[in-house]
Amino acid sequence: MSLTEELHAHLSTFETAPFLFVGSGMSRRYIQSETWAGLLSRFATKLDKPYAQYASAANGDFPTIATELANDFHPHWFASDDYELTRITHPDPQFVSTPLKIEISEYVKELMGNLPVEGREFNELESLKKSVIQGIITTNYDPLLEHLFPELEVYVGQEDLLFSNPEGVGELYKIHGSYTNPDSLVLTQKDYENFGSRNAYLAAKLLTIFVEHPVVFLGYSLSDNNVREILMSIAKVLTKDNIGLLQNRLIFVQWNENATDPRINKTVIPMDALTLPILEITVSEYEDIFLALSTLKERLPLSLLRRVKKQVTELVLTSAPKNKTYVMSIDEAFKSDDVDVVIGIGVHNKLTMTGQGIVGRDRYDLLRDIINPTLPTDVESMKLVVSSVLPKNLPARTNTPIYKYLRLSEYLNPDGTLASNGVPTRAQLRVTQGMKFFESKHAKEQNQLRAWATKITDFSAFMQGNYWHDVARVLPYMDRSKIDMEVLHAALKKEIESPGHVMYTPIAKVICIYDLLLHQKEEEA
């Protein structure tokens, strides 16, 4: 029996799909990220002291090295011309460590340009994308997993995981933070102390996953401190009598370029007074592992499963669910536009729900729809977007397009003012703000960007010569007559259709500006 067949057979014995627990080894393999020492050394080269001096003074302890490096990097970041752009985009760093975290976030984001486009690693990722999984836990900061699994709902840091209401289905838990929020990165000694102080709460959250699902560890060493501390916290919750609940569920995939004839082996990890039973697989490449994951029996699509679970949980826990859920005999007649979710028992060969393909959309669907339209554009469908999709996707500063849907649902006057009050409050506020919503909140930066915008004479050259975050900053200040909408659309279309595309905040912002320019006002005849 091959490794693929053996692992597939083992995972198929569980009633639930696996979770992945992903470490830095995966990012090193597929986007050429560095080891912790390599990452810190990269930024130490910007300073006067060599990395070896930081490492020696900290006795090789990485969080301590990061702390001292962040302290020295702080004044350098404010003084150096190298960071002029990120000082503009992040004008008010909260902590001494924030500048270093900002630059690390920018750096790991750019690593996505190293994604393989052919060869063994490319084929492995294509198999990994098809994995039948329930969710992912990771300590990585970079966007690799969001790119591979765009349907997953992302929770960043312990705060998100502990104080939100994750469903445990179709979710990505970035427990050490994410490039999208630099201050969320667990990097310095203080960060690790704060993380450790809440480990018991995190362990309680993760314990449910560990005892209900097989967990496949990828990109970690068995000696990795991050994993060992989390497993230690979970082991403390369990006892010698019930540690067996984890039997055969923890599968560690180790990479060794010299590995031959890999098999699943039983072993243990010592945890103080307890030993944790695990399964270990050592491989020289991941294709067999990912094929086993991708050939598991698929249940429901993750996005649908997560939505159904959320709706049913709300139905059970609240007396007045916010959404419409209908539980009935599958053959009972009903009006499909009266419900959002139908849970049926039995067999039915023809079940249609008008609009169900619309209300389940999220802001990423809307952003892509602005550039590559897929949604129906009749008035009733557009009103459904406004009433059911926009309210869920318009928190605070989130970049969500609104003008196309308001225009086609006939909620806007020709001059761009609201023609009806039947619009979500936050959408009303954005219509009132118009382009000002996308402008900087800082007067000095406003003046700089306005001056830059007035100097632009060739829009095509501007688009070709600048990164998206600069385009997003300058566009709100440009004279509309200078903006070539065809050039802008072509650039956005090329971006979202490119291999390795991730819907970064600047790209989302530019799409929203494009939406405003195109749909805010009716074209004059």
CA-to-CA separations, 216 to 20, 331, 353, 354, in angstroms, rounded: 5, 41, 37, 39
Which distant-in-sequence residues (6+ apart) come within 8 Å of 517 by Cβ?
480, 483, 485, 488
CA atoms within 13 A on the CB side of 286: 25
The answer to whether 464 touches 471, Cβ cutoff 8 Å, is no
| Average pLDDT in the chain | 84
Segment 426-480, tens digit of pLDDT: 888 889 889 998 988 777 788 889 999 999 999 999 998 888 888 999 999 999 9
The four Cα atoms 51, 44, 31, 135 give a dihedral, to 10 degrees, of 90
Q: Enter the DSSP assignment of 285.
A: -
CATH architecture of 3-33+116-294: 3-Layer(aba) Sandwich (3.40)
Segment 173-225, tens digit of pLDDT: 999 999 988 999 999 999 999 888 877 777 777 888 888 899 999 999 888 88
Q: One-letter amino acid identity for 439?
A: E
Segment 383-392, tens digit of pLDDT: 989 988 888 7
Q: Residue 305, Cα to own-chain centre: how many angstroms?
A: 18
| Both structure tokens of 467 | 């990164």
Which residue has tokens 């591979």?
Answer: 148
Q: Enter the DSSP assignment of 390.
A: G
Segment 118-156, tens digit of pLDDT: 999 999 999 999 999 999 999 999 999 998 988 888 888
Q: One-letter amino acid identity for 148?
A: L
- Indicate whether 340 pLDDT > 60: no
Residue 276 backbone dihedrals phi, psi, to 5 degrees: -100, 120
Domain spans in the chain, listed from the N-terminal domain onward? 3-33+116-294, 36-112, 303-354, 363-519
Residue 61 backbone dihedrals phi, psi, to 5 degrees: -80, 115
> Helix (H, G, I), strand (E, B), or coil: what is residue 57?
helix
pLDDT bucket at 327, cuts 50 / 70 / 90: very low
What integer pLDDT is reported at residue 304 of this predicted model?
Answer: 52
What integer pLDDT is reported at residue 167 of this predicted model?
Answer: 58
The answer to whether 366 touches 393, Cβ cutoff 8 Å, is yes
Distance CA 115, CA 468 (A): 19
> Helix (H, G, I), strand (E, B), or coil: what is residue 481?
helix
Q: pLDDT above 90 covers what percent of the chain? A: 48
| Both structure tokens of 446 | 């406003």
Closest of 187, 151, 188, 158 to residue 173, by C-alpha: 158
Distance CA 152, CA 137 (A): 11
- The string of DSSP codes covering 158-196 is HHHHHHS---SSSEEEETT-BTTBGGG---SHHHHHHHH
What integer pLDDT is reported at residue 362 of this predicted model?
Answer: 80
- The string of DSSP codes covering 348-369 is -S----TTHHHHT--HHHHHHH
Which distant-in-sequence residues (6+ apart) come within 8 Å of 473 by Cβ?
88, 89, 440, 449
Distance CA 471, CA 507 (A): 9
pLDDT bucket at 325, cuts 50 / 70 / 90: very low
Q: Which CB contacts under 8 angstroms, 24+ apart, belong to 424-432?
A: 424/386, 424/387, 424/390, 424/391, 424/394, 426/390, 426/391, 426/394, 426/395, 427/386, 427/390, 427/394, 427/402, 430/394, 430/402, 431/402, 431/406
Kindly state the average pLDDT of the residues 13-29.
93
The answer to whether 360 touches 390, Cβ cutoff 8 Å, is no
The answer to whether 515 touches 404, Cβ cutoff 8 Å, is yes
